[in-house]
């Protein structure tokens, strides 16, 4: 079989690293069947992610500027975000575009080679989906990080919409265990409404450097999504969900999210039943890595269908 040539497009300045990681990993796992190139809007941040991904995947590739893309050189174009218009010729080559849809709403109307959702969207029940996860570290390496924490439990919130507003919210969900846990809140912007004054165990990272952000996730047991936005129940997906699996963290999510997503390894929080974050029975991460394996296998089968099985 001839090798398929794939161009991956990531045009946003606000870098969707989870999207890029899961397609790169797929291509690497099909290395005898796929040749790929990565095209980005080049910046200091893209250069940092290029180095990080080369280290994670043990490769040495140079990402290219989008303006240098010649679509005739490729069998398929993977557009990592459906409303990314950084490559001006997409409409004329829509028959070879594999578009990743980030919402329930179809934002790119062109007749495409394929649409793949970032999650299962209940209102588009027949649509293919693949959670944008990749293997950021092994279970053995993860355990080494947790040992180096010397018994301290670390929790990360990723994205401003997932950060609790006050310490009292954390106490409502997790009781006095909040006093014995290190919280890391990472977002491009942290609003003044987030009232965490005089909380020595809560660390805020605004516009955090990618290498620091990844290192925080490596040492965390949990990723908390404290988000009550109803759109995330069925119509959208927080990037915190896949990044938790990627770095071997157990998710703590709102019950309505879990009702729709049905993750096997996730926990939910509730005012009615406080979750003790220091309870070691919640700290087993084998189920997270098992589910990560299932999700990556599902991703591979979906991409195989539209790349390797298509004529």
The torsion of the CA quartet 99, 235, 12, 294, rounded to 10 degrees, works out to: -60
Query: Taking Cα atoms as reference points, which of 298, 170, 296 lies closest to residue 222?
Result: 170
Domain residue extents for the chain: 4-117, 139-291
> What is the structure's pLDDT at 193?
63
pLDDT mean over 152-163 = 94
> What is the structure's pLDDT at 107?
93
pLDDT mean over 63-90 = 96
Q: How does the average pLDDT of the chain come out, rounded?
A: 94
Q: Report which of residues 228 and 84 the model is more confident about.
A: 84
> What is the structure's pLDDT at 125?
77
pLDDT mean over 243-257 = 96
> CB of 238 within 8 A of CB of 225?
yes
pLDDT digits (tens, 9 = 90+) for 281-300: 999 999 999 999 999 999 99
| pLDDT higher than 80, residue 311 | no
| pLDDT higher than 70, residue 197 | no
Query: Taking Cα atoms as reference points, which of 227, 225, 220, 221 lies closest to residue 282?
Result: 221
Report residue 231's pLDDT band, with 50, 70 and 90 as the boundaries. confident
| pLDDT higher than 70, residue 308 | yes
> What is the structure's pLDDT at 230?
85
pTM listed for this prediction: 0.95
Report residue 80's pLDDT band, with 50, 70 and 90 as the boundaries. very high
pLDDT mean over 24-46 = 96
Would you identify the CATH topology of the domain 4-117? Rossmann fold (3.40.50)
> What is the structure's pLDDT at 273?
84
pLDDT digits (tens, 9 = 90+) for 93-127: 999 999 999 999 999 998 999 999 999 998 887 78
> What is the structure's pLDDT at 227?
82
Question: Do the domains spanning 4-117 and 139-291 agree at the CATH topology level?
Answer: yes
Sheet holding 202-206, edge to edge: 202-206, 181-187, 153-158, 222-224, 250-253, 267-268
Q: Report which of residues 238 and 193 the model is more confident about.
A: 238
Report residue 192's pLDDT band, with 50, 70 and 90 as the boundaries. low
Q: What is the DSSP letter of 195?
A: B
| pLDDT higher than 70, residue 201 | yes
| pLDDT higher than 90, residue 252 | yes
pLDDT mean over 210-220 = 97
Q: How far is CA 161 from the centre of its chain?
A: 15
Burial tier of 27 (Cβ tally within 10 Å: 0-12, 13-18, 19+):
buried
CATH superfamily of 139-291: Glycogen Phosphorylase B; (3.40.50.2000)
| pLDDT higher than 90, residue 26 | yes
pLDDT mean over 5-17 = 92
| pLDDT higher than 80, residue 1 | no
| pLDDT higher than 90, residue 168 | no
């Amino acid at each position: 079989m001839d090798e398929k040539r794939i161009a991956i497009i990531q045009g946003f300045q606000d870098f969707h690293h989870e999207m890029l990681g899961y397609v790169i990993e797929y291509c690497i796992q099909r290395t005898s069947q796929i040749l790929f190139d990565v095209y980005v809007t080049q910046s200091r941040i893209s250069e940092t992610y290029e180095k990080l991904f080369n280290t994670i995947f043990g490769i040495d590739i140079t990402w290219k500027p989008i303006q240098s893309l010649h679509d005739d050189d490729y069998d398929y174009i993977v557009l990592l975000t459906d409303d990314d218009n950084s490559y001006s010729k997409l409409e004329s080559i829509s028959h070879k575009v594999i578009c990743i849809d980030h919402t329930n709403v179809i934002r790119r109307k062109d007749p495409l080679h394929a649409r793949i959702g970032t999650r299962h969207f209940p209102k588009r029940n027949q649509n293919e989906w693949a959670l944008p996860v990749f293997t950021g570290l092994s279970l053995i390496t993860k355990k080494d990080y947790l040992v180096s924490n010397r018994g301290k439990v670390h929790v990360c919130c990723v994205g401003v919409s997932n950060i609790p507003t006050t310490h009292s919210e954390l106490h409502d969900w997790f009781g006095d265990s909040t006093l014995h846990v290190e919280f890391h809140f990472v977002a491009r912007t942290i609003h003044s409404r987030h009232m965490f004054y005089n909380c020595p165990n809560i660390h805020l990272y605004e516009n955090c450097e990618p290498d620091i952000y990844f290192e925080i996730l490596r040492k965390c047991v949990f990723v908390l999504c404290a988000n009550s936005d109803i759109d995330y129940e069925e119509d959208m997906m927080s990037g915190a969900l896949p990044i938790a699996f990627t770095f071997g963290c157990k998710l703590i999510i709102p019950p309505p999210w879990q009702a729709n997503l049905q993750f096997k390894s996730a926990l939910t929080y509730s005012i009615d039943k406080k979750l003790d974050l220091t309870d070691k029975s919640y700290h087993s991460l084998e189920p997270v890595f098992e589910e990560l394996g299932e999700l990556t296998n599902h991703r591979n089968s979906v991409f195989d269908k539209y790349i390797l099985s298509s004529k």
